[in-house]
Structure 1
Amino acid sequence: MDVIADILLVAGALGAGFYCFILARRLTRFTDLENGVGGAVAVLSAQVDDLTKTLSAAQSSAGHSSKSLEELTERAEDVARRLELMVASMHDLPQQPVEPPKQAQPDTIFFRHPRN
Protein backbone atom coordinates (compact mmCIF):
# COMPACT_ATOMS: atom_id res chain seq x y z
CA MET A 1 0.00 0.00 0.00
CA ASP A 2 2.84 2.37 0.77
CA VAL A 3 4.38 1.58 -2.59
CA ILE A 4 1.15 2.45 -4.43
CA ALA A 5 0.82 5.69 -2.47
CA ASP A 6 4.45 6.55 -3.29
CA ILE A 7 3.87 5.80 -6.99
CA LEU A 8 0.73 7.97 -7.01
CA LEU A 9 2.60 10.71 -5.16
CA VAL A 10 5.48 10.62 -7.69
CA ALA A 11 3.00 10.56 -10.59
CA GLY A 12 1.16 13.56 -9.11
CA ALA A 13 4.46 15.42 -8.62
CA LEU A 14 5.53 14.64 -12.20
CA GLY A 15 2.10 15.77 -13.49
CA ALA A 16 2.32 19.00 -11.46
CA GLY A 17 5.90 19.56 -12.72
CA PHE A 18 4.82 19.02 -16.34
CA TYR A 19 1.85 21.37 -15.83
CA CYS A 20 4.18 24.02 -14.33
CA PHE A 21 6.55 23.60 -17.30
CA ILE A 22 3.70 24.20 -19.77
CA LEU A 23 2.45 27.20 -17.78
CA ALA A 24 5.97 28.70 -17.70
CA ARG A 25 6.24 28.40 -21.50
CA ARG A 26 2.83 30.00 -21.96
CA LEU A 27 3.73 32.79 -19.58
CA THR A 28 6.96 33.60 -21.44
CA ARG A 29 5.02 33.69 -24.73
CA PHE A 30 2.33 35.79 -23.06
CA THR A 31 4.79 38.41 -21.83
CA ASP A 32 6.97 38.38 -24.98
CA LEU A 33 7.59 42.00 -26.02
CA GLU A 34 7.36 41.31 -29.75
CA ASN A 35 4.37 38.99 -30.13
CA GLY A 36 2.58 38.65 -26.83
CA VAL A 37 0.58 40.91 -24.59
CA GLY A 38 3.76 42.75 -23.63
CA GLY A 39 4.08 43.88 -27.24
CA ALA A 40 0.44 44.90 -27.32
CA VAL A 41 0.90 46.86 -24.09
CA ALA A 42 3.99 48.59 -25.54
CA VAL A 43 2.09 49.51 -28.74
CA LEU A 44 -0.89 50.77 -26.75
CA SER A 45 1.41 52.83 -24.55
CA ALA A 46 2.97 54.46 -27.63
CA GLN A 47 -0.51 55.14 -29.03
CA VAL A 48 -1.59 56.73 -25.74
CA ASP A 49 1.44 59.03 -25.89
CA ASP A 50 0.61 60.01 -29.48
CA LEU A 51 -3.04 60.62 -28.58
CA THR A 52 -2.00 62.75 -25.60
CA LYS A 53 0.16 64.93 -27.86
CA THR A 54 -2.63 65.19 -30.44
CA LEU A 55 -5.16 66.06 -27.75
CA SER A 56 -2.97 68.83 -26.34
CA ALA A 57 -2.46 70.24 -29.85
CA ALA A 58 -6.23 70.11 -30.47
CA GLN A 59 -6.92 71.86 -27.17
CA SER A 60 -4.42 74.58 -28.04
CA SER A 61 -5.98 75.04 -31.47
CA ALA A 62 -9.46 75.15 -29.97
CA GLY A 63 -8.31 77.80 -27.50
CA HIS A 64 -6.95 79.97 -30.30
CA SER A 65 -10.13 79.47 -32.35
CA SER A 66 -12.26 80.35 -29.35
CA LYS A 67 -10.30 83.55 -28.75
CA SER A 68 -10.57 84.51 -32.43
CA LEU A 69 -14.30 83.78 -32.42
CA GLU A 70 -14.79 85.92 -29.31
CA GLU A 71 -12.98 88.84 -30.99
CA LEU A 72 -15.09 88.50 -34.14
CA THR A 73 -18.27 88.33 -32.07
CA GLU A 74 -17.32 91.49 -30.20
CA ARG A 75 -16.61 93.27 -33.49
CA ALA A 76 -19.94 92.10 -34.93
CA GLU A 77 -21.83 93.30 -31.85
CA ASP A 78 -20.09 96.69 -32.12
CA VAL A 79 -21.03 96.99 -35.78
CA ALA A 80 -24.60 95.94 -34.98
CA ARG A 81 -24.83 98.68 -32.33
CA ARG A 82 -23.58 101.27 -34.81
CA LEU A 83 -26.05 100.09 -37.46
CA GLU A 84 -28.92 100.30 -34.98
CA LEU A 85 -27.85 103.85 -34.15
CA MET A 86 -27.73 104.76 -37.85
CA VAL A 87 -31.17 103.27 -38.48
CA ALA A 88 -32.55 105.12 -35.47
CA SER A 89 -31.07 108.38 -36.73
CA MET A 90 -32.66 107.76 -40.14
CA HIS A 91 -36.09 107.83 -38.50
CA ASP A 92 -35.38 111.34 -37.22
CA LEU A 93 -34.85 112.74 -40.74
CA PRO A 94 -37.79 114.63 -42.28
CA GLN A 95 -39.75 112.65 -44.80
CA GLN A 96 -39.42 114.27 -48.23
CA PRO A 97 -40.87 112.75 -51.33
CA VAL A 98 -38.18 111.66 -53.65
CA GLU A 99 -38.71 112.71 -57.25
CA PRO A 100 -37.40 110.50 -59.96
CA PRO A 101 -34.50 112.08 -61.84
CA LYS A 102 -35.46 113.83 -65.08
CA GLN A 103 -34.16 112.18 -68.13
CA ALA A 104 -31.92 114.41 -70.15
CA GLN A 105 -32.72 114.84 -73.81
CA PRO A 106 -29.91 113.57 -75.94
CA ASP A 107 -28.21 116.23 -77.97
CA THR A 108 -28.59 115.66 -81.65
CA ILE A 109 -25.45 116.32 -83.59
CA PHE A 110 -25.45 116.48 -87.34
CA PHE A 111 -22.31 116.10 -89.28
CA ARG A 112 -21.94 117.56 -92.71
CA HIS A 113 -19.93 115.81 -95.24
CA PRO A 114 -17.04 117.98 -96.45
CA ARG A 115 -18.09 117.67 -100.15
CA ASN A 116 -21.40 119.46 -99.71
Structure 2
Amino acid sequence: MNLIADLLLIAGAVGAAFYCFVLSRRLNRFTNLEGGMGGAVAVLSVQVDEMTKALETAQRTSRDSAQSLRDLTERAEAAASRIELVLASMHDLEEPEGLSHLPRSNRGAVRRNRRARLESENGALE
Protein backbone atom coordinates (compact mmCIF):
# COMPACT_ATOMS: atom_id res chain seq x y z
CA MET A 1 0.00 0.00 0.00
CA ASN A 2 2.89 2.33 0.75
CA LEU A 3 4.31 1.54 -2.65
CA ILE A 4 1.06 2.59 -4.39
CA ALA A 5 0.89 5.80 -2.33
CA ASP A 6 4.52 6.60 -3.18
CA LEU A 7 3.89 5.98 -6.90
CA LEU A 8 0.84 8.25 -6.85
CA LEU A 9 2.83 10.91 -5.00
CA ILE A 10 5.66 10.71 -7.56
CA ALA A 11 3.14 10.84 -10.44
CA GLY A 12 1.52 13.93 -8.88
CA ALA A 13 4.92 15.62 -8.45
CA VAL A 14 5.88 14.82 -12.08
CA GLY A 15 2.49 16.16 -13.29
CA ALA A 16 2.93 19.37 -11.24
CA ALA A 17 6.48 19.79 -12.59
CA PHE A 18 5.24 19.35 -16.17
CA TYR A 19 2.40 21.86 -15.54
CA CYS A 20 4.90 24.39 -14.10
CA PHE A 21 7.19 23.86 -17.13
CA VAL A 22 4.34 24.51 -19.58
CA LEU A 23 3.16 27.53 -17.59
CA SER A 24 6.70 28.95 -17.52
CA ARG A 25 7.03 28.66 -21.30
CA ARG A 26 3.67 30.36 -21.84
CA LEU A 27 4.59 33.16 -19.47
CA ASN A 28 7.91 33.70 -21.28
CA ARG A 29 6.11 33.95 -24.63
CA PHE A 30 3.54 36.28 -23.11
CA THR A 31 6.15 38.72 -21.81
CA ASN A 32 8.45 38.46 -24.83
CA LEU A 33 9.33 42.03 -25.93
CA GLU A 34 9.52 41.19 -29.63
CA GLY A 35 6.23 39.46 -30.32
CA GLY A 36 4.29 38.94 -27.14
CA MET A 37 2.19 41.08 -24.88
CA GLY A 38 5.31 42.79 -23.49
CA GLY A 39 6.08 44.12 -26.97
CA ALA A 40 2.56 45.41 -27.32
CA VAL A 41 2.79 47.17 -23.96
CA ALA A 42 6.16 48.70 -24.94
CA VAL A 43 4.75 49.95 -28.24
CA LEU A 44 1.70 51.41 -26.52
CA SER A 45 3.92 53.14 -23.98
CA VAL A 46 5.93 54.79 -26.77
CA GLN A 47 2.73 55.85 -28.51
CA VAL A 48 1.38 57.37 -25.30
CA ASP A 49 4.58 59.40 -24.93
CA GLU A 50 4.32 60.62 -28.54
CA MET A 51 0.66 61.54 -28.13
CA THR A 52 1.47 63.44 -24.92
CA LYS A 53 4.09 65.48 -26.76
CA ALA A 54 1.69 66.12 -29.65
CA LEU A 55 -1.01 67.22 -27.21
CA GLU A 56 1.35 69.63 -25.47
CA THR A 57 2.36 71.08 -28.84
CA ALA A 58 -1.30 71.47 -29.85
CA GLN A 59 -2.11 73.18 -26.55
CA ARG A 60 0.80 75.57 -26.95
CA THR A 61 -0.25 76.38 -30.53
CA SER A 62 -3.85 76.88 -29.40
CA ARG A 63 -2.74 79.29 -26.67
CA ASP A 64 -0.64 81.26 -29.18
CA SER A 65 -3.53 81.35 -31.68
CA ALA A 66 -5.96 82.50 -29.00
CA GLN A 67 -3.61 85.31 -27.98
CA SER A 68 -3.13 86.34 -31.61
CA LEU A 69 -6.89 86.32 -32.16
CA ARG A 70 -7.38 88.39 -29.01
CA ASP A 71 -4.84 90.96 -30.26
CA LEU A 72 -6.46 91.11 -33.70
CA THR A 73 -9.90 91.56 -32.14
CA GLU A 74 -8.64 94.45 -30.04
CA ARG A 75 -7.10 96.07 -33.14
CA ALA A 76 -10.36 95.60 -35.06
CA GLU A 77 -12.38 97.14 -32.25
CA ALA A 78 -10.01 100.12 -32.13
CA ALA A 79 -10.27 100.54 -35.91
CA ALA A 80 -14.06 100.29 -35.73
CA SER A 81 -14.21 103.02 -33.11
CA ARG A 82 -11.96 105.24 -35.28
CA ILE A 83 -14.22 104.61 -38.29
CA GLU A 84 -17.26 105.52 -36.21
CA LEU A 85 -15.57 108.78 -35.22
CA VAL A 86 -14.74 109.57 -38.84
CA LEU A 87 -18.33 108.84 -39.90
CA ALA A 88 -19.66 111.00 -37.09
CA SER A 89 -17.38 113.84 -38.13
CA MET A 90 -18.54 113.46 -41.75
CA HIS A 91 -22.13 114.09 -40.65
CA ASP A 92 -21.01 117.41 -39.18
CA LEU A 93 -19.62 118.69 -42.50
CA GLU A 94 -21.67 121.13 -44.54
CA GLU A 95 -23.34 119.86 -47.67
CA PRO A 96 -22.14 121.18 -51.05
CA GLU A 97 -24.47 123.79 -52.50
CA GLY A 98 -25.25 121.94 -55.73
CA LEU A 99 -26.50 118.80 -54.00
CA SER A 100 -28.88 120.24 -51.43
CA HIS A 101 -31.96 119.77 -53.69
CA LEU A 102 -31.31 116.00 -54.16
CA PRO A 103 -32.53 113.43 -51.66
CA ARG A 104 -29.73 112.04 -49.44
CA SER A 105 -29.72 108.63 -51.16
CA ASN A 106 -28.89 110.13 -54.61
CA ARG A 107 -26.25 112.64 -53.59
CA GLY A 108 -23.28 110.31 -53.87
CA ALA A 109 -24.49 108.38 -56.91
CA VAL A 110 -23.25 109.15 -60.38
CA ARG A 111 -25.76 108.44 -63.13
CA ARG A 112 -25.23 108.43 -66.84
CA ASN A 113 -28.06 108.26 -69.24
CA ARG A 114 -28.09 105.73 -72.03
CA ARG A 115 -27.87 108.27 -74.82
CA ALA A 116 -24.66 109.84 -73.49
CA ARG A 117 -23.13 106.40 -73.13
CA LEU A 118 -24.07 105.40 -76.70
CA GLU A 119 -22.65 108.65 -78.08
CA SER A 120 -19.38 108.11 -76.30
CA GLU A 121 -19.15 104.54 -77.59
CA ASN A 122 -19.93 105.65 -81.17
CA GLY A 123 -17.28 108.38 -80.93
CA ALA A 124 -14.74 105.78 -79.74
CA LEU A 125 -15.51 103.48 -82.68
CA GLU A 126 -14.97 106.21 -85.31
1:84 Cα deviation (Å)? 2.9
Match of 1:19 in 2: 19
State which drifts further: 49-58 or 36-45. Answer: 49-58
Question: Under a length normalisation based on structure 2, what TM-score does the superposition of the two structures give?
Answer: 0.68
1:98 Cα deviation (Å)? 5.4
Percent identity, aligned pairs only, is 58
Match of 1:62 in 2: 62
Partners of 1:94 and 1:13 in 2: how far apart?
115
Extract structure 1 runs of 4+ deviating beyond 3 A.
86-96, 98-101
Q: Which amino acid aligns with 2:23?
A: L
Match of 2:37 in 1: 37
RMSD: 2.7
Flag the 1:71–1:91 CA change in 2: closer, same or farther, 3 A: same
Deviations 1:46-98 (A, max 9, x none): 11221122112212211221111011110111122223333444454567735
Confirm or deny that 1:5 pairs with 2:5. Answer: yes
Partners of 1:65 and 1:89 in 2: how far apart?
36
Matches within 5 A, 1:26-105: 26-93=26-93, 97=100, 99=102
SS of residue matched to 2:77: helix
Per residue, is there more helix in 1 or in 2? 2
Question: Under a length normalisation based on structure 1, what TM-score does the superposition of the two structures give?
Answer: 0.73
